[in-house]
């Protein structure tokens, strides 16, 4: 094991390279750029060969190139974020519909307008029903490891996999990472054996038009394959542990949830801060635990239910907002706990890169324990600001763009960016 | 050399085969063992020019690549009529992804083949004018710019036919579609700037760009064969009349395509590395009215209140093409400097 | 591979979808009558033998001609080629040089010694043919191939009739004539020369013949009354040509006037030139467009220096001169005298005003009618006397060798049927392949090969043949200019242009078939068939 002090993006790039991708498509968008830049150098130098690095003209083309490559039997990889992910949405659905095992990194970032380059989960959450497997990394080490597992998983169930890692927070963080050795990866990840292939020796037509007579069945089968992935993910993680000697991935990661009256559910890098906060509260006698969800699609209903156990309440910390209703993860968790009588709270936090501080978390969790929390809470919301804007909009029809108005109100300092 | 005229035989250069020709002089379509890349049982309308053009082009590509071919198809008529579950008409490896991404998917196929060292297998991307001129245009331009090893073929029937005949960027002036109806003072499609994708392709200076029609099979087959002699991005724009969308008789598909060429409205030429190298001469220029009149989409120009002024404007377009490309038999071919 | 459900499909599966059910009309292959075939007085399958010749199948082509006409080399020289007048290619650029290809084939047969077999079993029936001209020899040829025993009797001392005695040898060399007649005789035809038949019934009964075909021609020059001085030298054209053919040409002098406007007049004038006349003037009472001579004959005569005086009649002939009256056409197109006269120098006047039939040999035959000098026959060419048939110049028809040869073909079929006690039923006539039925875009421009011609200067100095033959390459080229009107020539257009692959190619010579399981009835094959050999028919419901 060689631990190296490197940037998360760099670590992911090296891990991806060791998975021997044959076609990599890249279109620049922050904060995923460092990953494909590093891969570009690997291909250009000949270190990664045979591999075609295609610099496409859009994310839509990136995913499309990956589709063509994957259907031709090549291991295909790309990375994107935010607007880029949305720009390729049509192709994202197509890749999963065709059952092509493409692996894509999503360096999670907010979606505009207003344009914002910082981290939250709005982008990948918007694709939760696209048919892709979605894995969320808590740390850079996990991000690295999940990519290796993602190729294996994708190719075994013939589904595309999104590895989601928080933009900047992980992608740009320099940490000690154990980058998998080539021999280990080769031992863990067999060569890509496509389920269907464009091959002149054995021609088939891929991508037929399917009408009402079979469409439901096709969709059911897509769901069934995700259910297969649900069983496969823990096995792949266990295999990984056997080869690489460390635990990484899996469906969920409970932390101090035994006997917990309150369980906080979250995805991604915020879990670290949450665990620190919970440790502190535990020390003070609060029965509180944390449940990290690694596999958001397929969603591990049973594992979530088991981990939350007999807790009286769950607090779902969401880094995305389902505008008009509130939580996205919450509704999934609620389905897992259906009939349990567990109280649930949705806390929207860290949108567009706003820092989630231990202080704010602690205050929020204490309120939750006392059931003083609103069912839908916006962490650290500048309430006077939004109320002034709402008043303004109520008075005048043409009150101007809300975002600019509020920024003007908030003054030059923006201390929440983390 | 382009297609050699075969003047010695009774039927000349334009028929498909002719028993008198040596087998190697015959067209691919004359071959009793041709691939029939697009097989019987497809659901194209009667007299579909696109079905014909696709089989012409892909059979020629199969011959040129020794049957080592993969096709990528944009969404559209060609895709829908060929692959409704549970039946496919394709006899070759074929992939349909989306409406606007066929050039990029083709790039992916080519990249995979390159990575796998299978450079013997070649890639054809194909789509209609909607998928090419409009929604797939960015992907097409990107594929050109990178010079990916793809032959992209656009089957141009000048509107969105699959969705029920709506205007595309390729719809010609005055033509009626469901979104450019024959109502108001300027009925039919507006006289826009046009979007000549072959010329745009040439501006990318890719190795090979050509236009062709279903009315001149040998020329079309030659151009596919020629395209396959190049590596890198190639573009073939095939004019395919649509009986349904144009309101022409199903038996007139070839004739209408021939008229489009002979009026000068559809210049047939080929270009290498951004320069025109050959044009198909018009034996005798036909007035555009002869081309327009048999088509219901131009009916408003000839009916009870005819619009000779509009016909004259269309004639100007044809005349300009003839000047610009040197299409009349007597005119010299444009030199490299004059090439459009 | 195990394919993902519904999204990925096995190739060829659309064959399960029989799109033929969409069809309301179905394409059907047809044969139409090519205009050349329709026009041919000899009944040749011209389009058919050109098709054979197109791929170098000259023997097959020749045999196809021989099925209808035993004189390809003669036809290729002297036929007035109504086929070429009718030829659709004439509307496109220039008519196919059918005649020259036929001549090439005929000459090739003579050069190679090709013969035709008599395949029919001998019938034991005997037929007498009177007259060894084109009609008689043609009849004898066909009847012999049908197994009958034929005797040809002719008053002359050589066979050929008008082919020998009416057509100058610069148009038809005698070795060609002898070769093609000899080939007929070699089949077993018995030829009796120098035997004039005066009574047909007697000749039949004496010889024990089962049927008779009469083809004695029209050999008597028609005489018109012209006031003439005693010393005026007046000949008739038939005699002139016969004497020339016999090698005993008369002295005509330097200035010869030929009176008449038919082909015989042209032959007479051109022969006069060859016999040393410096001036050969044809006097004809109407205008050029009404002239009965074939335009090609007129053109050749004019090219050789023959002069024609249109709208003129000879009103008097004297020694060394003739008096010519100018005519004008009335409203009905009939020439009327004007009273204007002109004198022409003429050492000899040759009358070419038509020929009459000597039908005296039929005088004793009951039921035979003669009308306007010609023997009346039915459509089966039988006269009013049972078993007595007649054809050629002695019956009402065009007086050309080709027509006579056609009579021979037709008479042989009717005589054969009559001998067997049945009536000959010709095959039904196919619809005509008109120019409008063609799609001429597909025929490349290919100008007619011009037959090599002797220099005009050489032409009139002797009786050497004027028009040369085609070499093989040009003959092949010319054959391939045939549009194959109305008859599939396997161009593959239907096979190649079907958007539904619904045409099955059956291989060389076997044409195509429609696969009605998939044919949607779009009609492209009909629209793009170059030769009009496909039609749409309403679908049976």
Instruction: Give the model confidence (pLDDT) of C23-50 as tens digits.
Output: 999 999 999 999 999 999 999 999 999 9
Q: Helix, strand, or coil here: A289?
A: strand
Show Cβ contacts of residue A376 under 8 Å, excluding neighbours closer than 6 positions: A326, A327, A345, A346, A348
Q: What is the pLDDT of residue C458?
A: 47
Q: Round the average pLDDT of chain B to a whole number and report it.
A: 93
Do C369 and C335 sit in the same domain of this protein?
Answer: no
> Is residue B284 scored above 60 in pLDDT?
yes
Q: How confident is the model at residue C307 (pLDDT cuts 50, 70, 90)?
A: very high
Show Cβ contacts of residue A263 under 8 Å, excluding neighbours closer than 6 positions: A257, A288, A289, A290, A291, A307, A308, A309, A311, A313, A314, A315
A92 vs B: CB within 8 A:
no
Q: Which chain C residues touch A208 with a CB distance below 8 Å?
A: 6-9
Do C164 and C136 sit in the same domain of this protein?
Answer: yes
| CATH at A153 | 3.40.50.970
Q: What is the pLDDT of residue A417?
A: 47
Q: Which tokens in the block code for residue B213?
A: 């029609």
CB contact under 8 A, C14 and B48: no
DSSP string computed for A301-348: HHHHHHHHTT-SEEEEEESS-BTTTB-SHHHHHHHHTTTS--EEEEEE
For the CA atoms of B99, B100, B102, B105, what is the dihedral angle to 10 degrees? -110
Residue B88, sorted as left (phi over 0), alpha (psi -120 to 50) or beta, turns out to be: beta
Tens of pLDDT, residues B138-182:
999 999 999 999 999 999 999 999 999 999 999 999 999 999 999
Residue C97: HSE in the Cβ half-sphere, 13 Å Cα cutoff: 21
Q: Nearest chain C Cα to A216, which residue?
A: C6
Of A62, A53, A98, A96, the closest CA to residue A80 belongs to: A62
Strands of A90-160 (E only): list them. Answer: 103-108, 133-136
What is the C-alpha to C-alpha distance for residues C212 and C201, in angstroms, rounded to an integer? 9
Tell me which residue has tokens 């949405």.
Answer: A89
Do A147 and A273 sit in the same domain of this protein?
Answer: no
Show Cβ contacts of residue C458 under 8 Å, excluding neighbours closer than 6 positions: C464
What is the value of pTM for the model shown? 0.89
Do A21 and A167 sit in the same domain of this protein?
Answer: yes
- Per the structure, the complete domain to which residue C255 belongs is given by 221-353
H or E segment to which residue A237 belongs: helix A215-244
A405 domain-assigned: no
**Which residues of C sit within 8 Å Cβ distance of A?**
1-11
Q: What average pLDDT does the segment C113-120 reach?
A: 95
Closest by Cβ to C495, choosing from B16, B42, B252: B16
DSSP conformation class of B133: I
Min distance C516 CA to chain A CA atoms (Å)? 26
Q: What is the pLDDT of residue C446?
A: 58
Min distance C507 CA to chain B CA atoms (Å)? 8
What is the C-alpha to C-alpha distance for residues C311 and C328, in angstroms, rounded to an integer? 6
| CATH at C49 | 1.10.1060.10
Q: What is the pLDDT of residue A408?
A: 75
Q: Which chains touch A (3 or more CB pairs under 8 A)?
A: B, C
Do C313 and C341 sit in the same domain of this protein?
Answer: yes
B97 domain-assigned: yes
B28 domain-assigned: no
DSSP string computed for B23-74: GGGS-GGG-TT---SB-TT--PPTT-HHHHHHHHHHHHHHHHTTT-EEEEE-
CB contact under 8 A, B138 and A56: no
Residue C198: HSE in the Cβ half-sphere, 13 Å Cα cutoff: 0
C253, C348 Cβ separation under 8 angstroms: yes
What percentage of chain B carries pLDDT values higher than 70? 93
Q: Helix, strand, or coil here: B229?
A: coil
Q: What is the pLDDT of residue B5?
A: 55
Q: What is the pLDDT of residue B4?
A: 56
CB contact under 8 A, C4 and A97: no
Q: Nearest chain B Cα to A90, which residue?
A: B98
Q: How confident is the model at residue C445 (pLDDT cuts 50, 70, 90)?
A: low
- What length does chain C have? 541
Tens of pLDDT, residues C484-521:
999 999 999 999 999 999 999 999 889 999 999 999 99
The domain tally of chain A equals 2
Q: Which chains touch B (3 or more CB pairs under 8 A)?
A: A, C
What is the C-alpha to C-alpha distance for residues C197 and C220, in angstroms, rounded to an integer? 16
C5 domain-assigned: no
Tens of pLDDT, residues C229-268:
777 889 999 889 999 888 888 888 999 999 999 999 999 9
Closest by Cβ to A195, choosing from C4, C9, C10: C4
Q: What average pLDDT does the segment C413-424 reach?
A: 96
Q: Which chain B residues touch A202 with a CB distance below 8 Å?
A: 93
Closest by Cβ to B98, choosing from A65, A91, A209: A91
Q: What average pLDDT does the segment A376-380 reach?
A: 97
B116 domain-assigned: yes
Q: What is the pLDDT of residue B334?
A: 46
C180 domain-assigned: yes
Q: What is the pLDDT of residue B339?
A: 37
Establish, for the pair of chains A and B, how many residue pairs have beta carbons separated by less than 8 Å. Answer: 167
C230 domain-assigned: yes
Q: What is the pLDDT of residue B18?
A: 79
C485, C531 Cβ separation under 8 angstroms: yes
Min distance A164 CA to chain B CA atoms (Å)? 24
B79 vs A: CB within 8 A:
yes
> Is residue C158 scored above 90 in pLDDT?
yes
- Per the structure, the complete domain to which residue A19 belongs is given by 3-244
Do A73 and A169 sit in the same domain of this protein?
Answer: yes
Q: Which chain A residues touch B139 with a CB distance below 8 Å?
A: 57-58, 60-61, 64
Closest by Cβ to A71, choosing from B80, B95, B117: B95
> Is residue C342 scored above 50 in pLDDT?
yes
What is the C-alpha to C-alpha distance for residues A346 and A309, in angstroms, rounded to an integer? 18
Q: Which chain B residues touch A68 with a CB distance below 8 Å?
A: 72, 95, 97, 104-112
Positive or negative torsion for Cα A340, A346, A352, A356: negative
Residue C365: C-alpha distances to residues C279, C383, C539 (Å): 48, 10, 58
Do A179 and A299 sit in the same domain of this protein?
Answer: no
Q: Which of residues 179-218 of B touch C (CB under 8 A)?
A: 217
The domain tally of chain B equals 1
C146 domain-assigned: yes
C333 or A112, higher pLDDT: A112
C426 domain-assigned: no
Residue C36: C-alpha distances to residues C49, C66, C430 (Å): 11, 17, 13
Chosen from B12, B14, B15 to mutate, greatest number of chain C CBs within 10 A: B15
Q: How confident is the model at residue B340 (pLDDT cuts 50, 70, 90)?
A: very low
Q: Which chain B residues touch A208 with a CB distance below 8 Å?
A: 83-86, 88, 96
Q: How confident is the model at residue B329 (pLDDT cuts 50, 70, 90)?
A: confident
| CATH at B300 | 3.40.50.970
CB count within 10 Å of CB C425 equals: 8
**Max CA separation in chain A (angstroms):** 71
| CATH at A300 | 3.40.50.920
Q: Nearest chain A Cα to C3, which residue?
A: A196
Establish, for the pair of chains A and C, how many residue pairs have beta carbons separated by less than 8 Å. Answer: 45
Q: What is the pLDDT of residue C224?
A: 77
Strands of C226-357 (E only): list them. Answer: 234-236, 255-259, 279-283, 307-309, 312-318, 320-329, 335-346, 348-351, 355-356
Do C27 and C39 sit in the same domain of this protein?
Answer: no
Of C431, C479, C437, the closest CA to residue C88 belongs to: C437
CB count within 10 Å of CB B302 equals: 16
Q: Helix, strand, or coil here: C109?
A: helix
Q: Which tokens in the block code for residue B85?
A: 């579950």
Pairing of strands A252-255, A288-293: antiparallel
Tens of pLDDT, residues B7-56:
556 666 688 887 887 787 789 999 999 999 999 999 999 999 999 999 99
């Amino acid at each position: 094991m060689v631990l190296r002090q490197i940037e998360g993006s760099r670590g992911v790039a090296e891990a991806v390279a060791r998975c021997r991708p044959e076609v990599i498509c890249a279109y620049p968008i922050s904060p995923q750029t460092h990953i494909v830049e590093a891969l570009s150098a690997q291909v250009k130098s000949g270190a990664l060969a045979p591999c075609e690095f295609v610099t496409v003209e859009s994310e839509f083309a990136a995913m499309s190139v990956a589709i063509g490559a994957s259907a031709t039997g090549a291991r295909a990889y790309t990375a994107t974020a935010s607007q880029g992910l949305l720009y390729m949405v049509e192709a994202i659905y197509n890749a999963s519909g065709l059952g092509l095992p493409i692996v894509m990194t999503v360096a999670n970032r907010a979606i505009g307008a207003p344009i914002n380059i910082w981290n939250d989960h709005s982008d990948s959450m918007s694709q939760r029903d696209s048919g892709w497997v979605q894995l969320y990394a808590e740390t850079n080490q996990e991000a690295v490891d999940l990519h290796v597992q993602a190729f294996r998983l994708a190719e075994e169930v013939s589904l595309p996999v999104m590895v989601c890692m928080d933009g900047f927070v992980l992608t740009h963080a320099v940490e000690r990472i154990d980058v998998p050795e080539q021999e280990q990866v080769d031992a863990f990840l067999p060569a890509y054996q496509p389920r269907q292939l464009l091959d002149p020796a054995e021609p088939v037509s891929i991508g037929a038009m399917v009408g009402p007579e079979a469409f439901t069945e096709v969709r059911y089968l897509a769901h069934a394959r995700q259910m297969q992935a649900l069983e496969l993910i823990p096995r792949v993680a266990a295999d990984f542990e056997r080869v690489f000697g460390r635990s990484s991935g899996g469906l969920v990661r409970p932390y101090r949830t035994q006997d917990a009256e309150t369980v906080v559910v979250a995805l991604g890098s915020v879990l670290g801060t949450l665990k620190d906060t919970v440790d502190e509260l535990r020390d003070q006698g609060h029965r509180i635990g944390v449940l990290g969800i690694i596999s958001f699609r397929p969603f591990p209903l049973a594992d979530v239910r088991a981990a939350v156990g007999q807790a009286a309440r769950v607090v779902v910390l969401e880094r995305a907002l389902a505008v008009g209703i509130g939580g996205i993860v919450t509704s999934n968790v609620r389905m897992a706990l259906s009939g349990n009588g567990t109280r649930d709270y949705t806390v929207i936090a860290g949108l567009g890169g706003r820092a989630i501080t231990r202080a704010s978390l602690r205050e929020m969790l204490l309120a939750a324990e006392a059931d003083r929390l609103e069912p839908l809470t916006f962490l650290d919301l500048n309430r006077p600001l939004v109320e002034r804007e709402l008043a303004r909009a109520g008075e005048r029809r043409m009150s101007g763009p809300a975002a600019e108005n509020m920024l003007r109100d908030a003054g030059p300092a923006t201390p929440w960016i983390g | 050399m382009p297609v050699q005229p075969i003047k010695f035989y009774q039927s000349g250069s334009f028929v498909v085969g002719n028993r008198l020709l040596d087998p190697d002089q015959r067209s691919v379509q004359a071959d009793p063992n041709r691939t029939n890349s697009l097989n019987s049982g497809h659901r194209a309308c009667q007299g579909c020019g696109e079905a014909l053009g696709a089989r012409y082009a892909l059979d020629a590509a199969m011959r040129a690549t020794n049957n080592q071919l993969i096709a990528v198809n944009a969404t559209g008529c060609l895709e829908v009529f060929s692959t409704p579950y549970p039946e496919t008409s394709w006899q070759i490896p074929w992939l349909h992804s989306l409406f606007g991404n066929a050039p990029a998917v083709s790039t992916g196929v080519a990249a995979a083949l390159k990575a796998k060292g299978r450079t013997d297998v070649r890639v054809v991307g194909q789509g209609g004018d909607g998928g090419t001129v409009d929604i797939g245009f960015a992907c097409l331009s990107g594929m050109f710019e990178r010079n990916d090893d793809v032959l992209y073929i656009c089957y141009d029937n000048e509107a969105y036919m699959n969705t029920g005949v709506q205007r595309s960027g390729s719809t010609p002036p005055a033509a009626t579609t469901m979104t450019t109806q024959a109502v108001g003072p300027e009925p039919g499609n507006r006289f826009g700037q046009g979007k000549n994708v072959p010329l745009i392709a040439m501006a990318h200076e890719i190795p090979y760009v050509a236009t062709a029609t279903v009315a001149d099979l040998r020329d079309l087959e030659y151009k596919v064969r020629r395209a396959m002699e190049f590596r890198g991005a190639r573009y073939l724009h095939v004019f395919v009349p649509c009986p349904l969308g144009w309101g022409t008789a199903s038996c007139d598909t070839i004739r209408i395509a021939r008229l489009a060429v002979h009026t000068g409205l559809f210049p047939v030429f080929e270009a290498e590395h951004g320069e025109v190298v050959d044009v198909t001469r018009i034996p005798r220029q036909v007035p555009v009215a002869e081309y327009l009149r048999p088509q219901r989409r131009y009916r408003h120009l000839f009916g009870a209140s005819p619009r000779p002024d509009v016909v004259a404007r269309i004639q100007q377009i044809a005349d300009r093409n003839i000047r610009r490309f040197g299409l009349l038999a007597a005119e010299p071919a444009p030199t490299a400097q004059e090439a459009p | 591979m195990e394919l993902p459900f519904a999204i990925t499909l096995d190739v060829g599966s659309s064959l399960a979808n029989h799109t033929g059910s969409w069809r309301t009309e179905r394409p059907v292959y047809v044969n139409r009558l090519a205009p050349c075939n329709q026009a041919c007085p000899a009944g040749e399958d011209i389009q058919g033998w050109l098709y054979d010749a197109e791929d170098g199948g000259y023997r097959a082509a020749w045999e196809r001609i021989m099925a209808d006409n035993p004189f390809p080399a003669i036809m290729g020289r002297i036929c007035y080629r109504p086929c070429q007048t009718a030829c659709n290619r004439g509307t496109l650029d220039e008519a196919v040089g059918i005649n020259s290809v036929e001549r090439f084939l005929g000459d090739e047969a003579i050069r190679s010694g090709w013969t035709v077999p008599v395949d029919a079993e001998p019938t034991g029936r005997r037929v007498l043919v009177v007259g060894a001209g084109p009609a008689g020899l043609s009849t004898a040829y066909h009847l012999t191939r049908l197994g009958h025993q034929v005797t040809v009797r002719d008053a002359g001392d050589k066979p050929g009739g008008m082919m020998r005695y009416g057509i100058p040898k610069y148009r038809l060399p005698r070795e060609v004539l002898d070769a093609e007649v000899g080939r007929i005789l070699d089949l077993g035809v018995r030829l009796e020369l120098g035997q004039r038949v005066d009574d047909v019934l007697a000749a039949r009964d004496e010889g024990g013949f089962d049927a008779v075909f009469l083809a004695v021609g029209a050999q008597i020059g028609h005489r018109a009354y012209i006031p003439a001085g005693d010393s005026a030298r007046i000949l008739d054209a038939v005699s002139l040509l016969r004497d020339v053919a016999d090698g005993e040409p008369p002295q005509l002098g330097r200035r010869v006037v030929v009176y008449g406007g038919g082909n015989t007049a042209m032959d007479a004038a051109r022969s006069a030139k060859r016999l040393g006349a410096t001036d050969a003037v044809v006097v004809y009472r109407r205008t050029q467009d009404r002239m009965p001579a074939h335009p090609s004959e007129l053109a050749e005569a004019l090219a050789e220096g023959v002069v024609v005086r249109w709208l003129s009649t000879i009103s008097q002939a004297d020694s060394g001169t003739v008096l010519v009256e100018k005519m004008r056409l009335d409203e009905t197109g009939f020439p009327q005298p004007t009273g204007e006269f002109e004198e022409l120098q003429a050492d000899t006047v040759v009358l070419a005003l038509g020929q009459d039939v000597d039908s005296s040999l039929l005088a004793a035959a009951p039921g035979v009618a003669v009308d306007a000098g010609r023997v009346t026959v039915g459509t089966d060419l039988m006269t009013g006397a049972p078993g007595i048939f007649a054809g050629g110049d002695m019956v009402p028809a065009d007086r050309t060798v080709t027509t006579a040869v056609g009579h021979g073909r037709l008479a042989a079929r009717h005589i054969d049927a009559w001998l067997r006690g049945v009536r000959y039923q010709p095959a039904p006539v196919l619809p005509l392949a008109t120019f409008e039925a063609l799609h001429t875009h597909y025929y490349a421009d290919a100008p007619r090969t011009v037959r090599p011609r002797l220099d005009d200067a050489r032409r009139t100095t002797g009786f050497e043949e004027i028009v040369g033959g085609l070499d093989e390459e040009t003959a092949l080229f010319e054959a391939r200019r045939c549009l194959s009107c109305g008859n599939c020539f396997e161009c593959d257009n239907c096979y190649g242009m079907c958007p539904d692959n619904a045409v099955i190619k059956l291989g060389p010579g076997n044409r195509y078939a429609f696969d009605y399981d998939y044919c949607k009835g779009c009609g492209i094959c009909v629209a793009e068939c170059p030769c009009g050999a496909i039609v749409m028919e309403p679908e049976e419901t």
